[in-house]
Amino acid sequence: MSIRDIAEPVSLNDGTAMPGYGFGCYAAHGEEIINAIRWAVRDGYRYIDSAAMYGNEAEVGEAIRTCGVQREDLFISSKIWPTRFDDPDASLAQSLRDLGIDVLDCCLLHWPGTDRKQRLSAYEKLLRRREEGFVRRVGVSNFQIKHLEEIRSAFGSFPVLNQIELHPLYQERDLCAYCRENGIRLVAWGPLFRGKLMQHPAIVEIAAAHGKTPGQIILRWHIQKGHIAIPKSSNESRIHENGDVFSFILTPDDMDRIDALDCGEHIGDDPYTFTGSK
């Protein structure tokens, strides 16, 4: 594994680029997330995926400042929760303060929410903040085709990326095809389905054939599908393992077998009805 492999850039629809692999910051706090990010950066990860809702951006900021890599060499994203769509500027400002940075490489709307007018207003404000230099790119998360069409209709362009739940059991084929056709990069959250696929016979068999772990097989599948996976872990050896997926290639038969696992099983809420309220 080399830094060049794990941080290899992929092009975006605005003419810029971002790392094609990342590290997720969900569900870890304090020294746990600080150390995890330091280990990830040491192993070559350069895309750090954060969010205001995770409640750990101050710690993420501490890790960014002390990871040994210059800020300009990192790609840092954050997200605005639907209940903050009425004042996205305040949410963005808080994230920048907590992270200790002047600009986000990408700011996303975390979920569509159920209020179309508010959603589009929040997106428009992020576009303005992009023009002002507070964010470099605008993206979305958990948006469906209907939501993306609304953005195109309102603004004449698409977000640079859509971060959605993606893994072998939940492949969102229509949405993924739509995003690819329109130049929207797919970022996969929950790429390992929270470990629930590690004992699947097909995955285990493919892993044995390649001398890799089941997790590495799944992450390699994401890479070959063109997804930007953002695995998360607070275990040092697992972080290294998750990043060590660039030295082998799955065969067409391997890919077909994993593709065949798609059954619609997923973790996340319904993007059409989820409001973000507790």
User: Active-site residue among 21, 47, 54, 123?
Assistant: 54
Q: What angle do CA 224, 105, 2 make, to 5 degrees?
A: 45
| Residue written as token pair 């404000």 | 125
Maximum Cα–Cα distance for the chain, whole Å?
A: 52
Q: Beta-strand (E) ranges in 54-101?
A: 75-80
Q: Name residue 228's beta-bridge partners.
A: 187
Which amino acid, 274?
A: F
110 assigned binding-site residue: yes
The residue whose two tokens read 């150390």 is 35
What is the DSSP code (8-state) at residue 234? S
- Residue-by-residue DSSP string for 22-52: EEE-TT--HHHHHHHHHHHHHTT--EEE--G
d(Cα 215, Cα 200) in Å, to the nearest integer? Answer: 11
Rounded to 10 deg, the angle between the 145-155 and 173-181 helix axes is: 20
Judge whether 54 counts as a catalytic residue. yes
User: DSSP code of 184?
Assistant: P
CB 115 within 8 A of CB 147: no
Residue 99 in contact with residue 78, Cβ under 8 Å? yes
Residue ranges at the known binding site: 110
Residues with a known catalytic role: 54
Give the annotated binding-site residues for substrate. 110
